Amino acid sequence: MDVQIWTYIIVGLSFALYIGIAVWSRASSTKDFYVAGGGVHPLANGMATAADWMSAASFISMAGIISFMGYDGSVYLMGWTGGYVLLALLLAPYLRKFGKFTVPDFIGDRYYSNTARTVAVVCAIFISFTYVAGQMRGVGVVFSRFLEVPVEWGVIIGMFIVFFYAVLGGMKGITYTQVAQFCVLIFAYMVPAIFIALQLTDTLLPQLGFVGTLKDGSFLLDKLDGLHQELGFAAYTSGSKDVFDVFCITAALMIGTAGLPHVIVRFFTVPRVKDARTSAGYALIFIAILYTTAPAIAAFARTNLIDTVSNKPYDTMPEWFSKWESTGLITYEDKNNDGKIQYVGDAAYNELQIDRDIMVLANPEIAQLPNWVIALVAAGGLAAALSTAAGLLLVISTAVSHDLIKKQLAPNISEGKELMWARMAAGAAVIVAGYFGINPPGFVAQVVAFAFGLAAASFFPAIVLGIFYKRMNKEGAIAGMVIGLLFTMSYIIYFKFIFSGADAADHWWLGVSPEGIGAVGMVINFVVSMVISAFTPAPPDEIQDMVEDIRYPRGAAKEVKVH
């Protein structure tokens, strides 16, 4: 069977599974909708957290970035991996001990202010929409190639699927759907990696193949360095980015992880504080499987791509090349009219443009793996994008229905009405997310990096100071979140949409790129928060007592009810 038939079968079966789970686990109460009833097993929650965490950026785009940028692309690998460790160790148990539904819930109660809650709602919605744009873009890329439809229609199809199980099932449906999606995506990521590792290096484990020797006796990375330098690219294992910018990007990704609301809320779905720690440990193991494999996939894909296309006649290109070319994600221009593809580092002579988001998806095709493996990767990419998109959409709907309407505008609203508002908000969020998926402000991992920067500059200081600094008050938290978010957002918008020419990098403040500015915004947030807090009244005694109770979770193994 050809790739398209296999895709219909594998993707169709996986979608049927997701929808079946959503129907089986549909939410019947707000507690089910917001935190899956608070009774998810730590192992299942670990798998769901991993699926929530491993988005289209992790599955589709991260290895693509590394395959093109080489050493410089490792900032995404380091930042996202380290960020999850930071979240699991520093924040998750304490937030679970607090026992509320959402991050705005924590900020609103900790800072005894509906204004603080509203600012947190705005931050959560803004961050989530920025992040979900990358997920919907990833869905569109997968569908455009494997179902041979335009990217726009691919996004619309993804919208309908997410709408169904996110609106119907809420967190309960999303959690158990994400368990299935994790199984699909990790299997889809590892199978082609193992195939290609055996094909190139006779090594079963991709991680060992990455640092091992090819069948001709040469080291894989040495060959890649040689190929890059022959074609005029920088050596694959050398770094060209400014060290301070690398530090800022890595820090923004790490710290942003610990402030992402859709990941944090996962720790409210387990029964006890102890279970939050356990599920964080499980998730870290599951995440490490993919993240340690990504550099190998990047190197394998880059090597096979260069061997396939460089200086080869255009009319001898394999079928996969023309299929991706028809999507507009590969473009070829014969500048010297010799009929051969000149793939070189000099932009004036380079004849081939490749969207880096296709590298993981095209990897098994480039390596000439069986058609069912190619279709499996498509199903994995969709699982990664849809799982994270659903989690983000739930954050948006919860912020509107629970933190805005229930907690502020209509506190006496019935549970049924609140659930109705949650579903309506989720539906509206799907439509807006679809628009941003069709009109994204960058490639998938770049868009996601902006979301992490915004989370780092807004939520992280408020959460950390809220847990570890009793003197932190509402005035400092509100000012810090607003200024941190506005600074970071303005910097990103200016250098990505207003002044985005070739010489824009020469004008970056302190040499920090838009991807890394969230780290600077975070420092500004911390400074503003603590200075203003020092010159304004201390929090009430009951708030300081609550902070003390959160920081030192006496009887952490005891059940803490979500209320």
Convert 245-259 to b/e letters by CB count within 10 Å (16 or more is b): bbebbbbbbbbbbbb
The residue range of the domain holding 402 is: 3-551
Residue 560 lies in a domain: no
Residue 563 lies in a domain: no
Q: How many domains does the chain divide into?
A: 1
Neighbouring C-alpha atoms within 13 Å toward the C-beta of 12:
7
Q: Please give the pLDDT value at position 560.
A: 46
Residue 267 lies in a domain: yes
Range from 102-116, 177-191, 541-555 that averages highest in pLDDT: 177-191
Poorest-pLDDT segment among 54-68, 123-137, 367-381, 430-444: 430-444
Other CB atoms within a 10 A radius of the CB of residue 499 amount to 11
Higher-confidence residue: 169 or 206? Answer: 206
pLDDT greater than 50 at residue 465: yes
Range from 75-84, 90-99, 372-381 that averages highest in pLDDT: 372-381
The burial of 313, by beta-carbon neighbours within 10 Å (0-12 exposed, 13-18 middle, 19 or more buried), is given as exposed
Q: Please give the pLDDT value at position 197.
A: 92
Mean pLDDT of 259-267: 72
Single pTM value for the model: 0.80
DSSP string covering 414-476: -HHHHHHHHHHHHHHHHHHHHHHHHS-SS-HHHHHHHHHHHHHHHHHHHHHHHHH-TT--HHH
Q: CA-to-CA distance for 233 and 303, rounded, in angstroms?
A: 13
Residue 231 lies in a domain: yes
Residue 561 lies in a domain: no
What integer best gives the mean pLDDT of the chain? 82
Q: Please give the pLDDT value at position 51.
A: 83
Question: Any idea what the CATH number is for the domain that residue 479 is in?
Answer: 1.20.1730.10
* Pick from 537, 521, 18, 557: nearest CA to 249: 521
Q: Please give the pLDDT value at position 404.
A: 82
Cα-based distances in Å from 554 to 94, 130, 421: 11, 38, 36
Q: Please give the pLDDT value at position 446.
A: 57
Q: CA-to-CA distance for 175 and 149, rounded, in angstroms?
A: 30
Phi, psi of 556 (to 5 degrees): -60, -25
- Confidence category of residue 477, pLDDT binned at 50, 70, 90: very high
Cα-based distances in Å from 21 to 34, 153, 164, 173, 272: 17, 25, 11, 7, 25
The pLDDT tens digits of the residues spanning 498-532 come to 776 667 778 888 889 888 899 999 999 999 999 99
Q: Please give the pLDDT value at position 445.
A: 52
Residue type, 195: F
What proportion of the chain, given as a percentage, has pLDDT over 70? 90
Residue 557 lies in a domain: no
- Confidence category of residue 563, pLDDT binned at 50, 70, 90: very low
